[in-house]
Amino acid sequence: METLQAIFERRSIRKYTGASIEREKLLTLVKAGMAAPSSRDTRHFHFVIIDDGKLIDQLNEGLPYSKMLATARHAIVVVSDLNVAHGGIETDYWAQDCAAASENVLLAAKDLGLGACWTGVHPREERVAFVSQSLGLPLNFRPLCVIAVGMPTGEDKARDKFDPQHVYWNQWGKKE
């Protein structure tokens, strides 16, 4: 699939068939995540791949707005090693880096014919604590999000989100 096609046709998928996904494909998603840019090339990303149904159900119960996990049946949790990230917890470079990695995962899922949906964790401290405890994350490792991954039913369709009113040339307000 062409890169631009994946970008334009990606959707947050919330309707899944429940089918299982091969570990090799899940690893490809993680490879795409690790290829993301990071501040000072610190590459502090870690990815917890979840294909254990019990753990999926546990995350689903503990996180709000994560109901799609019930049928997605897989997830990738994007985690930062704050000891390694540029600026550590004092800046938000770690979160920007992890967001870039997360978007790569979403686009790679689209390319492979899989569905994915970002589920917010950071900056909600109760969600950070819940996910960290569920996955046994060491101190100073912080999760940004839980990405649901599964086989899409095809009901979530692409849509055009381009808004020319939000585009300017050279100066704010200049339309040409």
Ligand X SMILES: Cc1cc2nc3c(=O)[nH]c(=O)nc-3n(C[C@H](O)[C@H](O)[C@H](O)COP(=O)(O)O)c2cc1C
Q: Point out which residues bind ligand X (CB under 6 A).
A: 11-12, 65, 117-120
Shorter beta-carbon distance to ligand X: residue 11 or 43:
11
**The tokens of 76 are what?**
């990738």
Nearest-approach distance from CB 62 to ligand X, in angstroms: 12
Shorter beta-carbon distance to ligand X: residue 51 or 156:
156
Shorter beta-carbon distance to ligand X: residue 51 or 118:
118
Measured at the CA of 141, the angle between CA 136 and CA 147, to 5 degrees, comes to 75
Nearest-approach distance from CB 93 to ligand X, in angstroms: 16
Strand ranges in the chain using DSSP code E only, listed in sequence order: 45-50, 74-81, 115-120, 141-150
* Among candidate residues 24, 31, 75, the one with its CA nearest the CA of residue 49: 75
CA distances (Å), origin 143, targets 8, 13, 103: 27, 21, 15
* Among candidate residues 107, 85, 106, the one with its CA nearest the CA of residue 94: 85
Shorter beta-carbon distance to ligand X: residue 29 or 117:
117
Nearest-approach distance from CB 40 to ligand X, in angstroms: 23
What residues contact 92, with CB distance under 8 A and at least 6 apart?
A: none
CB-based burial, 90-100: b 16+ in 10 Å, e otherwise? eeebbbbbbbb
Nearest-approach distance from CB 39 to ligand X, in angstroms: 18
Shorter beta-carbon distance to ligand X: residue 51 or 103:
103
Nearest-approach distance from CB 171 to ligand X, in angstroms: 29
